[in-house]
Structure 1
Amino acid sequence: MVGGKGESFTAGDWTAAALDAIARGGLAAVAIEPLAKHLGTTKGSFYWHFADRNALVVAALASWEERDTELVIAAIERGDDPTERLRNLLELVFGAVQIGVQPGAGSVELALQANASDPLVSASLGRVTSRRLAYLTRLFAEAGMSPARARGRSLLAYTAFLGHAQLAHATPEALPVGRAFDTHVRHVVEALVRADD
């Protein structure tokens, strides 16, 4: 697109910038003028794609749901063995919580959890949590657990992920680094996948 109003920036560019802002500063960081400055464009570019800030937040939340839930599930579903799919999923999500200068996996999620009282965020978190728990429950059941145990284990795995992400965010020095981190992730995954108590 052309036209001198910053139309060369797509709705996806604005959505990605909004997600980065959420990861760094929570929902309050999604503000049109600072995002325009960050992108090197004007507010006119924003209004070319979105009616208002809420429309951007809705688009950013939809993008987060797709990227961090649906695309992850689609990638995991390519495997055949249910136990391996379960291991691959858990290794992916726990392993992605890296310590470093960039916001790690879970940064958007943690920021959204902190803003769960916002109706838009609450609806998105509700959908994502339900979808993830249902998928985890299915994987645990396909790996041989009873429905009740599969549901309980999925809840344990999901809350462990949220706690892991929070720990990496708030007190990263509590987690090992390098190969020790990889070993830690393997131990967490094996404890969750193990069928016995």
Structure 2
Amino acid sequence: MEADRGPLSRTDWVLAGLQALARGGPNAVRVEAIARSIRVSKGSFYWHFKDAAELKLMMREVWRIDAGEGVIERVEEARGSAYEKLQTWAGLAGNAAIVGDFHGLKLEPAIREWARYDHAAAEMLKSVDEKRLSYLSQLFAQAGNPANSYENASLFYAAGIGLDPLSEGGLADVAMPLYALLDALLNVSQPLGRASAMPGE
């Protein structure tokens, strides 16, 4: 083991755990492997956490807040009509912020894989999905189709999740199909113009 590179905080360890999850899946979230990847001893870990279970708890909580409340806050900050907010969601999805970007990591596919084998991760993911779907359903209702708002939200949300792995393989864009689906679900024949959804635009 290499010498410690300096004191690390709990946040540093949580981010390192999320990096390990994104890069290697659930089996990569092991104290010794994470310590080796960030060039510190395991003693640094046990200064902050009782065990790996506590680290995973913090990882789930950080992602839950960022992927749930954090994503909705970013859409709300864009302001505009409900239709424009849905466009913003589509643009963010195309730029990875909805489907799992966390400090540059494409994390959500790994979170969903983790949830297949871990009950606590599955419960956390369900709470995030419910929060996102509830928010999108409200936007669809406000945009003019309240009778089918939840069904439309479900299709729109699932499309973003499904397009992400195709995008990773270079087989599809994410944002443009979501824009088209949004207009189809709301029967918008002439789009009102794309919201400024992409960070940096």
TM-score by length of 1: 0.81
Matches within 5 A, 1:42-191: 42-78=41-77, 79-96=79-96, 107-115=106-114, 116-146=116-146, 148-169=147-168, 172-175=169-172, 181=173, 185-191=175-181
1:69 shift after superposition: 2.4
- Give CA deviations for 1:141-171 in whole Å, capped at 9, x if unaligned: 111111x4110111101111111122234xx
- Contact map agreement 2:156 2:178 (CA 8 A) in 1: no
Q: Secondary structure at the match of 2:40?
A: coil
- In 2, distance between residues paired with 1:63 and 1:173? 29
- In 2, distance between residues paired with 1:168 and 1:34? 29
Q: Secondary structure at the match of 1:174?
A: coil
Q: Which has the higher helix share?
A: 1
- In 1, distance between residues paired with 2:35 and 2:51? 13
The aligned length equals 178
Q: Which runs of 4+ in 1 moved over 3 A?
A: 4-7
1:6 shift after superposition: 7.4
Residue 56 of structure 1 aligns with an amino acid whose one-letter code is L
Query: What is the aligned partner in structure 2 of residue 178 from structure 1?
Result: none
- In 1, distance between residues paired with 2:183 and 2:49? 44
- In 1, distance between residues paired with 2:154 and 2:6? 44
1:187 shift after superposition: 4.1
- Give CA deviations for 1:57-105 in whole Å, capped at 9, x if unaligned: 11111111122221121121121321111110111113328xxxxx976
Residue 26 of structure 2 aligns with an amino acid whose one-letter code is L
Tell me the C-alpha RMSD between the 2 structures.
2.4
Q: Secondary structure at the match of 2:107?
A: helix
